Structure 1
Amino acid sequence: MSDENPTVPLPDPRAQWALSTDAAASGTRTEKPRKRRWPWLVAVLAVVLLAVGAWFAGEYIARGIVERTIREQVTTQLALPADQPIDIDLPGQVLPQLIAGRFDQLTLSSQNVPFGQLTGDVVVHASDVPIRGDDPIGSASASVTLDQSQLQALLATVEDFPAATVALAEPDVDISMDLKLFALTVPVGVGLTPSASAGQLVLTPRTLMLNGAEISAEALVDQFGAIARTVVRDWEVCIAQYLPAGLELSAVTVSGDTIVADFAIDGAIIHDEALQQNGTCPAS
């Protein structure tokens, strides 16, 4: 070898071994790079959020379809005007109830619903309502609210009833009638208590006012004889012809300036066409 190109000596293997040994002896460790797991957590969270969003989107769409279908069915079955506003309250999530095949609770309400020539505000409550099959509704009830003018229109259909004098004074329906005895005409005020009997509205005299003073039915009959029977009498009002046959009047009360009629609903009405048709009144 020449001096111009000196030979570089090879590293001594023992020196490398000694270096490694010294590093190990000094307690120094070479750490492996840690795997970053947070991208996986973000991905899982994104999937969950997408699933939740899809659920709520499906719930929104399903609720819209259900409410539209119910509204169309009610309008058709009850022969209501196409533009009759109907509010629908369906509590809870719709999709699970659709899967189960039954609605837990359902409330329908509408104002100024026409019943032939009459109108009134209607609220219907139903529970355990089947979506498919021929099963009946678990339970259902309805209430119809009439104001004074609407009640007058109803009572105007009753023969000899002084509907024009009707006034609502909780808890009674007040009317005024004239007793005619020869040339004498005596106005009598009557407070009628409403009730339900055999599916009919019954108005029963509770108070009688003569010349501004309260008088008993017996005293009125004693004073005016048989003619007083035109005042001291029950008035039966059939309303079956205005409502589906599947509804039966169960209670009537005067509340403030309205009269509220409660009805029990036959659960088979959702499938039985005969129950969906208006009822009939007994022959007089």
Structure 2
Amino acid sequence: MTGLPEAQPVLRRSSGRRAALVIVIVVVVIAVIGLVLWLADGLIRGMAQDGVEDALESKLPGNVTADLEVTIDGGLFLPQLIAGTFDNVTVTSDDAEVDGIPFDIIVTAHGVPLDENDTIDETTAVVTGGEDAANALLVLGGADPHLSLGDGTLSYNQSASFLGFTIGYALVTEPQAQGDSVSLAPVDVTVLTDLGNLDVTSFVSNLLGEEPVTVCVASSLPEGISVDGIDVSPETLTVTLSATDMPRNGPDLSSRGSCDAQ
């Protein structure tokens, strides 16, 4: 007995299309959610940065003026906010003044906690100023001569007594950072005298010796701040400072370190 073959079921394409449509919708929804979260992250980050700027400026001492710009880096803001620690926070100002002395500053803080009672892991600051800033930071003893900037050098005038005469000399030094102090190693001496051809350079050199002049800077900086680097050009002095385990609210700007051990 013969007959027609049994009919085979035909797969409907509509089910495959529906599955593809569902996948597309899911992908679009995820993309939209990601975009919304990214926009929200940026919005909240901006609000937080503005809030930090206002808070910092309100805590500046009366003799300090600055328009601060705060940037919170380290990836997405919300995960850092939830974790309670920001990876990197940068504070900059290119129009700051202390007692009328202008300077620029860039402060970078790593591991900044939300808890006001906690401490910041590591903080680095780069401060740039002119001769006035150099003289405010590096206060020499005695008559406190005025420092002049050079190509990698700092120079100043001093005087000494020789055979009953007062001999003036200009000393050129190379500065080097040493934590709570800066050493000024003499590299050249120019004698300033009205004694004709009398050569007193050796006298001045013996007076100075080979040891550098050490200038304590702790009394010019908030307590706990270390000087890690110092670079000089004819126009600017750039000082690199650092601190570890600084209070989250920042150092007490009205406090100063001690030079008693110097």
Q: TM-score range by the shorter chain?
A: 0.7 to 0.9
Classify 1:89/1:264 alpha carbon distance in 2 versus 1 (closer, same or farther; 3 Å).
same
Within 5 Å, which residues of 2 pair with 1:1-284? 24-25=4-5, 29=8, 31=10, 33-34=12-13, 35=15, 36-37=17-18, 38-79=20-61, 80-81=64-65, 84-132=67-115, 134-152=117-135, 160-163=143-146, 166-170=148-152, 172-177=153-158, 188-197=169-178, 199-210=180-191, 219-221=202-204, 234=213, 236=215, 238=217, 240-241=219-220, 243-255=221-233, 257-271=235-249, 275-279=252-256, 282=259
Classify 1:199/1:88 alpha carbon distance in 2 versus 1 (closer, same or farther; 3 Å).
same
Classify 1:154/1:272 alpha carbon distance in 2 versus 1 (closer, same or farther; 3 Å).
closer
SS in 2 for 1:124: strand
> Percent of counterpart pairs with the same letter?
20
Classify 1:30/1:196 alpha carbon distance in 2 versus 1 (closer, same or farther; 3 Å).
closer
| TM-score scaled by length of structure 2 | 0.74
Classify 1:76/1:245 alpha carbon distance in 2 versus 1 (closer, same or farther; 3 Å).
farther
More strand by share: 2
Greater RCO structure (CA 8 Å; 6+ sep): 2
CA contact (8 A) 2:183 2:215 kept: yes
CA contact (8 A) 1:130 1:136 kept: yes
Which letter does structure 2 place at the counterpart of 1:188?
A: Y
CA contact (8 A) 1:246 1:269 kept: no
| TM-score scaled by length of structure 1 | 0.69
Which letter does structure 2 place at the counterpart of 1:49?
A: A
Which letter does structure 1 place at the counterpart of 2:111?
A: D
What CA deviation, in whole Å up to 9, does each residue of 1:139-176 have, x standing for no partner?
A: 2222222223432455688652331x613221x11234
1:264 CA displacement:
2.5
CA contact (8 A) 1:246 1:276 kept: no
Classify 1:166/1:237 alpha carbon distance in 2 versus 1 (closer, same or farther; 3 Å).
farther
CA contact (8 A) 2:149 2:234 kept: no
Structure possessing the higher radius of gyration over alpha carbons = 1
Query: How many aligned residue pairs are there?
Result: 248
CA contact (8 A) 1:75 1:84 kept: yes
CA contact (8 A) 1:158 1:237 kept: no
Which letter does structure 2 place at the counterpart of 1:207?
A: D
CA contact (8 A) 2:95 2:102 kept: yes
Q: Equivalent residue for 1:4?
A: none
Larger deviation, residues 257-266 vs 121-130: 257-266
Separation in 1 of the partners of 2:30 and 2:136? Answer: 59
What CA deviation, in whole Å up to 9, does each residue of 1:181-233 have, x standing for no partner?
A: 6897765331122234562344342321348xxxxx981348xx9xx66xx98
